[in-house]
A and B are shown apart, each in its own frame.
Chain A
Amino acid sequence: QVQLQESGPGLVKPSETLSLTCAVSGYSISSGYYWGWIRQPPGKGLEWIGSIYHSGSTYYNPSLKSRVTISVDTSKNQFSLRLSSVTAADTAVYYCARHSASCYFGYWGQGTLVTVSS
């Protein structure tokens, strides 16, 4: 069974960089699929942040592209998100997920709340 688990600081200061990692078990990232990040501000809807293919190709939401970096570490079977220059508007539950080439997200992590506050 494929499982994903997000980890990282729950509190980040404004203007700093948010960093999260998604550990994958039950499937080898290097075997295929795309691996993505989605976020959900409290009480609001879902927003795709970006994705990485197992080969390392990356795809970002145009509205966040200037601040986002997604990377993969196949040796640790995990992938990571970095979001720079955060503000209170970046406060959200951040999910990692696996998706197909037609971008349906079949497996999700449980999510982790990141609060941006001084």
Chain B
Amino acid sequence: QSALTQPPSVSGSPGQSVTISCTGTSSDVGSYNRVSWYQQPPGTAPKLMIYEVTNRPSGVPDRFSGSKSGNTASLTISGLQAEDEADYYCSLYTSSSTFDVVFGGGTKLTVL
């Protein structure tokens, strides 16, 4: 299985922007656009925020955006709000040799 690396924590003040990275390799993140991002406030189920690198499901504020450069995918949250404080996970689906889904280790976002 691939391993996706996320920073353990990031922080920002209300109104600021933060970016959470998700780093893989040229064989996974670098080769596939099947990266998704999930938000998980404490004690709740994860919620889909971004799919296929850049797409936002209906109902997700446009303050949330996704991108990819090389082997790193990123989630950017602009105009930070207190309610954005949560754990964030990236995920990747690869099908090079076998159907496999990998999650990053998660990033704790603190709104100062």
Contacts and interface: CB of A to CB of B under 8 A. Distances in A.
Interface of A: 36, 38, 45-48, 51, 59, 61-63, 95, 100, 102-106, 108-111
Interface residues of B, number: 23
Interface of B: 1, 34, 36, 38, 45-48, 51-52, 57, 89, 91, 93, 98-106
Classify the secondary structure of A's interface with B. loop
B94 to A, nearest CB: 9
A48 B46 contact: no
B103 A105 contact: no
Given A47-B103, A63-B1, A105 B46 contact: yes
A111 B93 contact: no
Given A63-B1, A102-B51, A103-B91, A108 B45 contact: yes
A38 B93 CA distance: 14
Given A104-B36, A111-B45, A46 B106 contact: yes
